[in-house]
Amino acid sequence: MFELDGFFDGEHVVENAAIVVDGGEIAWAGERKALPKDSGEIAKPAGRFAVPGLINCHAHLTLDGEANFAAEVRQTDGLAMVKAFKNARASLYAGVTTVRDLGANGTMVIELGRAIERGVVEGPRIVAAGRGVTTTGGHGAEVGRVADGPDEVRKAVREQVRSGARVIKIFSTGGVLGEGAPPEVSQFTPEETAAAVAEAHNAGLRITTHAHGSGGMRVAAEAGIDSVEHATLLDERTVRLLKERDVAIIPTFAAIHSLLEHANVLDPVVIERTRAVADRHREGVRMAHRAGVRIAAGTDSGTPFNLHERFAVELELLTECGLSAEQALAAATSGSARVVGLEKAGHIGGGCWADLVFVDGDPIADVAVLLSPKTVYVRGAPVV
């Protein structure tokens, strides 16, 4: 049983609080004055404030954030697996107890997730997509499964399901990094997108899409996509549609932030594309937030200079776009849990997973305290 100055339950702050853990779940949480009798011995973690384990909705564990993105994505499968293990551990130490990995050049992250669940190695919970599905000449083709036409798209999605994917990812537009089309160009047709969505949902999986341009976002939303990654070039029409269809967005501000911070050592084409979209990205997310579009937190970690252990930077960037600190923290906990489909994650309450992050200070007053967690628990046990 933990006695605390307070905790954030995923939506609100509870002060003068306590949390009772039983095995891998939370048995009770609330104000200390209401603490049930015989709640067990008192444990005092290094940090006096707790938040639910953070959830990164968009990561690439097989990538280290090297400057030469094109070279890193072509690494060997063995090296990719080693990096995935290392970066999963780095995420966990940073308080990220659930990682949604949205694309690798094979099944290595799926296999890592299975090994963690079996207790072979320590790590966060992993929801992995396997290979993302893209078009001939499209963004993501270096590591993705290329598919053209509705029938081939169905087959590509089924392949990821067979491989053990727990989420499906498609590429609805071009991108900033790598080869292929630029950000504003739409890739999959409405018929192809609908085929991907139908196959994912038929398998009981969520489906998300990489989408920068508004046209590609609308195609995906009309087809029933569950969430949109990046959502860089939003306009009013697209925001209205996302709100109507209850489609969440994951802005991944950290990716663009990291590119611009290191512009002097990156490909000029990449930086030109990044600068062209950065301001519109911020304004579009502000518009979406005002309209009530659901926002979840993901960093696209693994892209150049975008480190897995720096997840909390995304929360700071969200607050710069109009979210309060409480809303940003909710986006990284309860909001992200809804996006990834894990109802026991992202909250502190009876029956929730005992995935907890303890910090010094109040993250509602200063989200930066999340950059230096004092203690991390996953599955009811402290991270070693």
Neighbours of 94 (CB within 10 A): 23
- Kindly tell me the burial class for residue 326, based on how many C-beta atoms sit within 10 Å of its own C-beta (0-12, 13-18, 19 or more): middle
Rg (CA), the chain: 20
- Confidence band (pLDDT; 50, 70, 90) for 273? confident
User: Are residues 87 and 231 both part of a single domain?
Assistant: yes
Domain count within the chain: 2
User: Are residues 17 and 110 both part of a single domain?
Assistant: no
| Mean pLDDT for all residues in the chain | 96
User: Are residues 47 and 61 both part of a single domain?
Assistant: no
- Confidence band (pLDDT; 50, 70, 90) for 276? confident
Average pLDDT over residues 80-85: 98
What's phi and psi for 145, nearest 5 deg? -100, 115
- The answer to whether residue 34 scores a pLDDT higher than 80 is yes
Residue 100 lies in domain: 54-340
- The answer to whether residue 341 scores a pLDDT higher than 90 is yes
What's phi and psi for 241, nearest 5 deg? -65, -45
- The answer to whether residue 18 scores a pLDDT higher than 80 is yes
Q: Taking the CA atoms of 86, 91, 97 and 101 in sequence, report the sign of the dihedral they define.
A: negative
pLDDT at residue 243, rounded to an integer: 98
The DSSP call for residue 263 is G
User: Are residues 278 and 246 both part of a single domain?
Assistant: yes
Between CA 87 and CA 261 the distance in angstroms is 21
pLDDT at residue 161, rounded to an integer: 98
Q: Which conformational region is residue 206 in: left (phi greater than 0), alpha (psi within -120 to 50 degrees), or beta?
A: beta
Tokens of 45: 């973690």
User: Are residues 148 and 38 both part of a single domain?
Assistant: no
Between CA 215 and CA 230 the distance in angstroms is 14
User: Are residues 323 and 353 both part of a single domain?
Assistant: no
- The answer to whether residue 178 scores a pLDDT higher than 80 is no
Average pLDDT over residues 260-286: 92
Q: At what angle do helices 150-163 and 190-202 cross, to 10 degrees?
A: 30
Average pLDDT over residues 165-184: 91
pLDDT at residue 37, rounded to an integer: 86
pLDDT at residue 27, rounded to an integer: 97
pLDDT at residue 167, rounded to an integer: 98
pTM over 0.85: yes
Give residues with Cβ within 8 angstroms of 285, minimum separation 6: 231, 234, 249, 251, 253, 295, 321, 322
Average pLDDT over residues 221-232: 98
User: Are residues 182 and 124 both part of a single domain?
Assistant: yes
Between CA 302 and CA 62 the distance in angstroms is 7
User: Are residues 263 and 316 both part of a single domain?
Assistant: yes
Average pLDDT over residues 7-13: 97
- The answer to whether residue 179 scores a pLDDT higher than 80 is no
CATH number of the CATH domain containing 34: 2.30.40.10
User: Are residues 259 and 288 both part of a single domain?
Assistant: yes
More confident residue, 269 or 328: 328
User: Are residues 136 and 268 both part of a single domain?
Assistant: yes
What's phi and psi for 339, nearest 5 deg? -65, -45
The DSSP call for residue 205 is -
pLDDT at residue 41, rounded to an integer: 83
- Confidence band (pLDDT; 50, 70, 90) for 376? very high
Between CA 104 and CA 62 the distance in angstroms is 7
User: Are residues 104 and 39 both part of a single domain?
Assistant: no
CATH number of the CATH domain containing 229: 3.20.20.140
User: Are residues 46 and 184 both part of a single domain?
Assistant: no
What's phi and psi for 301, nearest 5 deg? -60, 145
